Amino acid sequence: MTNVSVKRVPFGKLQNAIDDNISMGYTVKSQSDNIAVLEKAGDWGSFGWHAVIFLVTSWWTCCLWNLGYALYCHYGKKQELQLKVDD
């Protein structure tokens, strides 16, 4: 599931907003004169939750739940940012 946010920027400040968000880890998915779509992948999950999952399920699942949790955190928690120029 992707979390979508929309941010409006003043005319002429779109490129500055793109550069600011790239420095925060976003990548440009698409860009035009009036809108830019950026996305950022999620992290791999917290160490604490990986430790709990390992202790509870590792002896019978060969750590597959840990792998599933990591993949869910990375791909399931993507963030999408739409930068739109104010009219």
Of residues 17 and 64, more confidently modeled? 17
Q: According to the model, what pLDDT value does residue 53 have? A: 85
Question: Which of 12, 4, 6, 5 shows the shortest CA–CA distance to 34?
Answer: 12
Domain ranges of the chain: 3-85
Positive or negative torsion for Cα 45, 51, 52, 58: positive
pTM above the 0.75 mark? no
Express each pLDDT in 34-78 by its tens digit. Answer: 999 999 988 888 889 888 888 888 777 777 888 888 888 888 888
Per residue in 41-52, pLDDT (tens digit) is 888 888 898 888
The pLDDT value recorded for residue 42 is 84
DSSP state of 45: -
pLDDT at 84: 95
